[in-house]
Chain A
């Protein structure tokens, strides 16, 4: 009954470091998404994927990269971390059928100092 699993839960990075946020789902969902949420704000779409090997940019893709080699996993890579990337990151998935809602992970809180 895992659903969408994100790791780590918390991370502190120094400016210029890189890291990968992990996301895995066990619901056999085709669609997966990465969002960021800044304090007091809504969710902004970073990247999304409609299936293994297919990814596309969302609203705020700069500074991030993704890959989707399997249906289950959708990691988000931060290269050269900047303070502006301090945020809470949510991974989500959906079956991709019309009218499907998103299933969210518990989030990763990232601080870049």
Chain B
């Protein structure tokens, strides 16, 4: 069974701090890696995607991928109260996209 593991949290950070979210996956054949944000009662929305080893930056968000360690992370710089949500790590291999359980992030004003 292919698995995606995340620390469920909650992770609490003060406003303006860096939030660091981590994810590991079991399938070495995985090809695409995504971070989705989900507000309570809403559907997931894509915030970052990454496909090759290294860092990818988009505004306040940086995704990091290390395929040798089977590890994906998301850094949120200058965290804002509006970033408070559940962050879902998703991994695609072949036809399937498998999700982790999500990490709840609270940003305190």
Contacts and interface: CB of A to CB of B under 8 A. Distances in A.
**Pair from one complex:** yes
Interface of A: 31, 33, 35, 40-45, 48, 50, 56, 58-59, 90, 94, 96, 98-102, 104-107
Interface of B: 1, 4, 6, 8, 31-32, 34, 42-46, 49, 51, 88, 90, 95-102
Nearest to A54: B95
B88 A42 contact: yes
Contacts of A35: 99
B95 A50 contact: yes
B103 to A, nearest CB: 10
Contacts of A40: 8
A42 B25 CA distance: 14
A48 B97 CA distance: 10
Given A42-B102, A50-B95, A99 B31 contact: yes
Contacts of B96: 45, 48, 58
A102 B97 contact: yes
Given A101-B34, A101-B46, A104-B44, A41 B101 contact: yes
A107 to B, nearest CB: 5
Contact of B95 (A31, A43, A59): A31
Given A42-B6, A99-B31, 20 more contacts: A33-B97, A35-B99, A42-B88, A42-B101, A45-B96, A45-B97, A45-B99, A56-B95, A58-B96, A59-B1, A90-B43, A94-B97, A96-B95, A98-B31, A98-B32, A99-B51, A100-B32, A101-B34, A101-B49, A106-B42
B98 A59 contact: yes
A42 B42 CA distance: 13
25 contacts: A31-B95, A41-B101, A42-B4, A43-B44, A43-B88, A43-B99, A44-B99, A45-B97, A56-B95, A58-B96, A94-B97, A98-B32, A99-B31, A99-B32, A99-B49, A99-B51, A101-B46, A102-B34, A102-B44, A102-B90, A102-B97, A104-B43, A104-B44, A105-B43, A106-B43
